[in-house]
Amino acid sequence: MRPGTARAVLLRLLAGLGVMWGAATLTFIALQLVQGDQVAGVLGTNSLATPAVRAQVIHEYGFDQPVLVQYLHWLGRLVTGDLGRSYQLNTPVTQALSGQIWPTAQLAGAATLIAVVVSVVVAVLTTGRGRRVRSAASGAELVAVSVPAFWIGLIALTYLSFKWHLLPGAGATGLSGLLLPAAVLSIPLTGILSQVLREGLDEALRQPFAISVRARGVGPTALVARHALRHALASLATLVGWMVGSLFGGAVLIETVFARPGLGRVLLSAVTSRDLPVVSAVVLLVAGVFVVVNVVVDLLYLRIDPRLRTPRSA
């Protein structure tokens, strides 16, 4: 690894830490804003609690300390990996979440895989084609991106699972149970990826170097495969932030539609019951994933585009 690259990685990681800190602060502020409810959250529906019990809870959770102290405690606990206890489940948050991460990761991973494969195929097949092919493709992409995926999920569930019994229905586990939700979740992703890839390819093919390459006797397929695709991949990097968010947001809804376990469902019940430690843990987790994925993509990007490796060029 060149020193420049190492420095870039370090900088990005630092910046990532900054984002994590920001996210932690944000959730702390949210916690403060609903502090009154927090006590109720801890006490749960047990509204018969005496003022003494209330006071004890306030003291135990440190709600009576100055805000700054609470903030520092909060940060200190986070650094040591202690995300607090869920008010609702009365278990450590880490424990409440740990079992839920894998199903969501599975879902998101499968959806990404489907989206990448389909979109690369579609983009390569539709680039440099006539206007009809292009407008058909971009129309399809527009629909894929626009139509709410969770609604498609509902429809698909009705017909594919319940009416035609082609696929296992809601609540199913295993690979076959993963297929439908992942496919549905991948729809908007596929739409956007293929659109961006195709435009990237088109853009690359419009570059003067495409003419040079053709003038060397290279055929159109080899031009796309050897030259243009790499340029188009570079344009995907910016999408990553969007993809992380899209997958997560989509997963929350898709998990609800398909009654799958996962972070989405935990988050929803936490939001409903104002179980802030769980909400903030999810926030930090998602921000962390975002940061890591972005750093990885940045590194990939450095590999793809050599111009980024040299500190300066003309």
Partner 1 sequence: MTAERLLVAGHDAAALDERAWRDVRGREVGLVLQDALSSLDPLRTVGAEVAEPLRVHTRLDRASTDRRVLEQLAAVGIPDPERRVDQHPHELSGGLRQRALIATALIADPPLLIADEPTTALDVTVQRQILDLLERLKSEGRGLLLVSHDLAVVARIADRIAVMDDGRIVEHGPADRVLRAPEHAVTRALLEAVPRGRRATARGAAAERGTAGGGTDTTSPSASVGVPLVRVSGVTKRYRERGGRTRDALAGVSVDLDAGETLGIVGESGSGKSTLARVVLGVLQPDDGTVELRGGPWSALTDRRRRDQRRTFGLVPQDPLAALDPRHTVRQVLNESRGGVRLRRRDHDEELARLLAEVGLGAEHLDRRPAELSGGQRQRVAIARALAGDPAVLVCDEPVSALDVRAQARILALLTTVQRARSLAVLLVSHDLAVVREVCDRVAVVRDGLIVEHGPVEAIFTAPQHPYTRALLAATPRLPGDEDEAEIAPVPTEEPTTGARR
Partner 2 sequence: MIRRPSRVALAGAPSGIAASVALSPPGRRLRGSPAVWVAGAVLALLVLAAVWPGLLTGRAPNDTDVAHAMTGPSGAHPFGTDRLGRDVFARVVHGARTSLTIGLSATAIGLVAGALVGAVAGFGPKLLDGVLMRLVDVLFALPELLLALIAIVVLGTGPANVAVAIGIASVPNYARLVRAQVLVVRGTEFVEAARVLGRGRTWIVLRHVLPNALGPVRVLAAISTGGAVVTGAGLSYLGFGPGPPSPEWGSMLVDGQDFMQDAPWLVLFPGLAVAAVVLCCSVLGRAMRGRTACARGDASRGRRTGGAPASSTPATVAGRPARPRPPTEGPRRSAPTPRSSTSATCGSPSATAGPRPRSSTASTSTCGAASAWRSSARPGPGRARRRGRCSGSPGRPRR
Neighbours of 17 (CB within 10 A): 11
For 163-312, list the strands marked E by DSSP.
none
Stretch that binds partner 1, among 82-90, 144-152, 227-235, 284-292 (CB under 8 A): 227-235
Residue 92, classed as helix, strand or coil, is strand
Nearest to 258 by CA among 184, 147, 148: 184
CB 100 to partner 1: min, Å: 41
Query: 149 or 213, CB closer to partner 1?
Result: 213
Neighbours of 42 (CB within 10 A): 21
Give which of partner 1, partner 2, none residue 196 binds (C-beta under 5 to 8 Å, depending on kind).
Answer: partner 2
Give which of partner 2, partner 1, none residue 216 binds (C-beta under 5 to 8 Å, depending on kind).
Answer: partner 1
Stretch that binds partner 1, among 48-56, 141-149, 265-273, 298-306 (CB under 8 A): 298-306
Give which of partner 1, partner 2, none residue 102 binds (C-beta under 5 to 8 Å, depending on kind).
Answer: none
Separation of alpha carbons 228 and 86, rounded Å: 50
CB 51 to partner 2: min, Å: 25
Stretch that binds partner 1, among 50-58, 69-77, 166-174, 207-215 (CB under 8 A): 207-215
Query: 157 or 204, CB closer to partner 1?
Result: 204
Answer yes or no whether residue 216 interacts with partner 1 by CB under 8 A.
yes
Please answer whether residues 190 and 236 qualify as being in contact, where contact means their C-beta atoms are separated by less than 8 angstroms.
Answer: no
Among 211, 225, 259, 292, binds partner 1 (CB under 8 A): 211
Answer yes or no whether residue 130 interacts with partner 1 by CB under 8 A.
no
The residues pairing with 92 across neighbouring beta strands, listed in sequence order, are 85
Handedness of CA 300, 244, 151, 144 (dihedral sign): negative
Query: 245 or 311, CB closer to partner 1?
Result: 311
Nearest to 157 by CA among 131, 183, 195: 183
Stretch that binds partner 1, among 102-110, 126-134, 204-212, 240-248 (CB under 8 A): 204-212
The site that binds partner 1 (CB under 8 A) totals a number of residues, namely 26
Please answer whether residues 192 and 112 qualify as being in contact, where contact means their C-beta atoms are separated by less than 8 angstroms.
Answer: no
Answer yes or no whether residue 1 interacts with partner 1 by CB under 8 A.
no
Answer yes or no whether residue 76 interacts with partner 1 by CB under 8 A.
no
Q: Considering only residues 142 through 201, tell me which ones interact with partner 1, judged by CB under 8 A.
A: none
Neighbours of 210 (CB within 10 A): 20
Separation of alpha carbons 102 and 285, rounded Å: 13
CB 224 to partner 1: min, Å: 12
CB 116 to partner 1: min, Å: 20
Neighbours of 127 (CB within 10 A): 24
| Token pair in block for residue 236 | 């995907």
Among 76, 99, 109, 219, binds partner 1 (CB under 8 A): 219
Please answer whether residues 275 and 86 qualify as being in contact, where contact means their C-beta atoms are separated by less than 8 angstroms.
Answer: yes
| Token pair in block for residue 275 | 């179980």
DSSP secondary structure code for residue 309 in this structure: T
Query: 97 or 276, CB closer to partner 2?
Result: 276
Q: Which residues bind partner 1 (CB under 8 A)?
A: 207-209, 211-219, 222, 227, 230-231, 234, 304-307, 310-314
